[in-house]
Amino acid sequence: MATERTERDREGEHEGLLRDLGQSVRARREGLSMTRKSLSERASVSERFLAELEGGRGNVSVTRLQDIALALGTTAAGLLSADAVSDAGLDGPRVIALLGLRGAGKSAIGQRAAERLGVAFVELDAMIERAAGMSLAGLFELHGAAYYRRVERQALVDFLSERRGAVIATGGGIVTDEETFAILRRETRTLWLKARPEDHLARVRAQGDLRPMANHQDALSDLRRILAAREPLYARADVTVDTSALGLSKSVRAVLKAAQAGR
Span 166-175, pLDDT tens digits: 999 999 999 9
C-alpha distance from residue 108 to each of 87, 98, 111, 113, 119 (Å): 32, 11, 6, 9, 15
C-alpha 197 chain-centroid distance: 26
Q: Is 165 left (phi over 0), alpha (psi -120 to 50) or beta?
A: beta
Q: What confidence score (pLDDT) does residue 194 get? A: 95
Q: Give the C-alpha separation, 155 to 124, whole Å.
A: 7
pLDDT at 88 over 60: no
pLDDT-based confidence at residue 100 (cuts at 50, 70, 90): very high
Burial 166-202 (b: 16+ CB within 10 A, else e): bbbbbbbbbbebeebbebbbebbbbbbbbbebeebbe
CA-closest candidate to residue 120, choices 62, 188, 34: 34
Q: Are 192 and 234 in contact (CB under 8 A)?
A: yes
Q: What confidence score (pLDDT) does residue 217 get? A: 65
Across the chain, what does the average pLDDT equal? 82
pTM: predicted TM-score of the whole model, two decimal places = 0.63
pLDDT-based confidence at residue 9 (cuts at 50, 70, 90): low
Give the tens place of pLDDT for each residue, 101-116: 988 999 999 999 998 8
Q: Give the C-alpha separation, 260 to 107, whole Å.
A: 20
Task: Please report, to the nearest 10 degrees, the dihedral formed by the alpha carbons of residues 243, 246, 247, 249 taken in order.
Answer: -110
Q: Give the C-alpha separation, 74 to 263, whole Å.
A: 12
Q: Are 76 and 85 in contact (CB under 8 A)?
A: no
Q: Give the C-alpha separation, 91 to 27, whole Å.
A: 11
C-alpha 86 chain-centroid distance: 21
Q: Are 179 and 109 in contact (CB under 8 A)?
A: no
Residues 6+ apart with CB under 8 A from 45: 64, 67, 68
Q: Give the C-alpha separation, 34 to 48, whole Å.
A: 16
Give the tens place of pLDDT for each residue, 188-205: 999 999 999 988 888 887
Q: What is the identity of the amino acid at 96? A: I
Domains plus CATH for the chain? 2-88 (1.10.260.40), 95-261 (3.40.50.300)
120: three-class secondary structure by DSSP: strand
Q: What are phi and psi of 188, to 5 degrees?
A: -135, 175
Rounded average pLDDT over 86-112: 77
pLDDT-based confidence at residue 262 (cuts at 50, 70, 90): low
Give the rounded percent of residues in the chain with a pLDDT score beyond 90.
31
Q: Give the C-alpha separation, 247 to 250, whole Å.
A: 6
